[in-house]
Amino acid sequence: MTDATPDAPRQDFIRQIVRSDLAEGRHAAIRTRFPPEPNGYLHIGHAKAICLSFGIAREFGGLCNLRLDDTNPAKELPEYVRAIQEDVRWLGFEWAELRHASDYFEVFYLAAEKLVRAGHAYVDDLSAEEVRAYRGTLTEPGRNSPYRDRSPEENLDLLRRMRAGEFEDGSRTLRAKIDMASGNINLRDPALYRIKKVPHQNTGDAWPIYPMYDYAHALSDAIEGITHSLCTLEFEDHRPLYDWVVERVDLASSPELLEPLRAAGLPVQAGRPRQIEFSRLALNYSITSKRKLMALVQEGLVDGWDDPRMPTLQGLRRRGFPPGAIRLFAERVGISKQNSVTDFSLLEQAAREVLDAEAPRRLAVVDPLKLVIANLSDDHAEMLTFANHPKNEAFGTREVPFSNALWIERDDFMREPVKGFHRLVPGGEVRLRGVGIVRCEEVVTDGDAVVELRCTLDADTRPGMPGADRKIKGTIHWVSARHAVEAEVRLYDRLFSVPDPDADGDYHQHLNPEAKRVVRGYVEPSAAGLEAEAHVQFERLGFFIADRRDHSPRRPVFNRIVTLRDTWAKKQ
């Protein structure tokens, strides 16, 4: 199961709103958008928003735009823009239109002039520190700026001079004139524009002023005719400002504001969006703050934004989580108004379910111990037929080389066995997967270290022979030492060792030292030949992926995605 059943309608509160709006004829078609800021890489929390916005559009026959809210050029990079587009497509979605907030800069500015002329906005000379002092607190109202009562004519002149680049960075702002005594601090004359003489990746040096996020976001949604503007709960208190901007600018009554877009050939579907908030994704054993993730990268605590330990979509992809598992996870987390923390095991289980159906099986050994079958000749070699998937014959079969010298997992042998250990012990027997039953006759050591096991194969227990069904408790896997290909195997696990790594304010202390272990192992030849980003189950070891950047048939590199079972349940 990789996604929800198409004919099973989902019943979250947002979809109920959309169904009601369509049934009552409020919209001819649904239009949503996913509006990331290109100031970092997307993470697992964004995946929930992507699946929701694109999923709603897909389910109701509508359209979803990808819009890059690029209003803060000092923190934005083309690298992030490219990665965002790649991540959305990797998750299985395609946008109706690719838009940028910067596409609308001229419209934003003309709308600002309209607000100034109508007395709804003014140019303020207070410094950032003074603005904070005047704003008040949650229990005390703010105070009006001494510049609040400038005339529309003076404000318009100052705004145009701001636009012309006449003033220094931070010396003036354009603020909405709303209510400094409002119980919602977002309505205490919020800034609409600030002076920032920074080149923009799309507009170059054309603009010495840039719109604030809430102002640009609201108007962008209105310009694109977004019907349902889906946001996380932290924007709930911003909704009154969002609505204030859309209502005061009123694009429908001022078509001249949209003329720059028409002149540039950009389609316009101006409308009145409805903002709806839902709970963001909080995942334990993880952090999703862009600032903190960037710190991990900059401090060298991880190997970049796509480090497989990172909760970024680039990291999850490189780790090997299939996009179907991310979508399944987002579906199971669900949509609600209640903030909660999701257990990391839910993401891991989604990966196991998807990969169990999709990943072919191969043989590999990650902690090798040599096993020699003494009653086979040293030149013994044959090909054994193995199913590529035990539950799906459509995967076909493959030929696996077998010889008298094998690699097995070191922990499949125990010199002094404990109760319940059913694998190989001195004098004991175990079934070699697809081969037959062997008995351990001799243990070769070097000091205290076991370096080789010498065994005999009961030929009567080989597949097709009369004793093939002889009952024995243990079965282990192997690879032929003569034919195996050495591989780098990266054993990944959760980045943090505690459920809430930032509870005490210092997540650095809780980095999991076992989150990455690199070992030299051996894989059967057909595994080495897999293409980069091919998924595979190494039998009894877990699900793995051929690393998208470092893997090659001559130098195989595999990343562990998840173990076959939840190993963290025992620790909690």
What residues contact 428, with CB distance under 8 A and at least 6 apart? Answer: 417, 439, 440
What's the residue count for the chain?
Answer: 572
Beta bridge partners of 134: none
Residue 232, marked binder? yes
Mark whether 89 is an active-site residue: no
Of the candidates 37, 277, 524, 539, the residue annotated as catalytic is 37
Report the phi/psi class of residue 273: left, alpha or beta, with left for phi > 0 and alpha for psi in -120 to 50: beta
- 500 labelled ligand-binding: no
- The count of other CB atoms within 10 Å of the CB of residue 119 is 12
Nearest alpha carbon to residue 111 among 227, 245, 240: 245
**47 annotated as belonging to a binding site for a ligand:** yes
Contacts of 48 (CB under 8 A, 6+ apart): 280, 281, 330, 333
Instruction: Please tell me whether 359 is known to bind a ligand.
Output: no
DSSP structural state of residue 533: T
Q: How far apart (Å, rounded) are the C-alpha atoms in residues 223 and 215?
A: 12
Is 516 annotated in a binding site? The answer is: no
343 is in an annotated binding site: no
For 263-404, list the strands marked E by DSSP. 274-278, 282-283, 341-342, 361-362, 364-365, 368-373, 381-387, 397-403
540 counts as catalytic:
no
Query: What's phi and psi for 245, nearest 5 deg?
Result: -60, -50
Query: Is 486 annotated for ligand binding?
Result: no
Check whether 477 is labelled as a binding-site residue.
no
38 a known binding residue? yes
Does the annotation flag 520 for ligand binding? no
Known binder of ligand: residue 335? no
The response to whether 79 counts as a known ligand-binding position is no
Question: Two tokens at 379?
Answer: 């030149």
Q: How far is CA 511 from CA 42, 174, 517, in A?
A: 21, 44, 14
Task: Find the catalytic residue in 58, 160, 163, 280.
Answer: 280
Q: Is 415 annotated as a binding residue?
A: no
483 annotated as a binding-site residue: no
Residue type, 485: V
Which is the catalytic residue, given 290, 352, 548, 560?
Answer: 290
Nearest-5° Cα angle at 282, 279 to 285: 170
What's 150-211 look like in SS3? CCHHHHHHHHHHHHCCCCCCCCCEEEECCCCCCCCHHHCCCEEEEECCCCECCCECCCCEEE
| 48 is known to lie in a ligand binding site | yes
Phi-psi region of 119 (alpha: psi -120 to 50; beta: other; left: phi over 0): left
In the annotation, is 391 catalytic? no
What residues form the annotated binding site?
37-39, 43-49, 69, 213, 232, 280-281
What residues form the annotated binding site for L-glutamine?
69, 213
Q: Which residues are catalytic?
A: 37, 280, 290
What residues form the annotated binding site for ATP?
37-39, 43-49, 232, 280-281
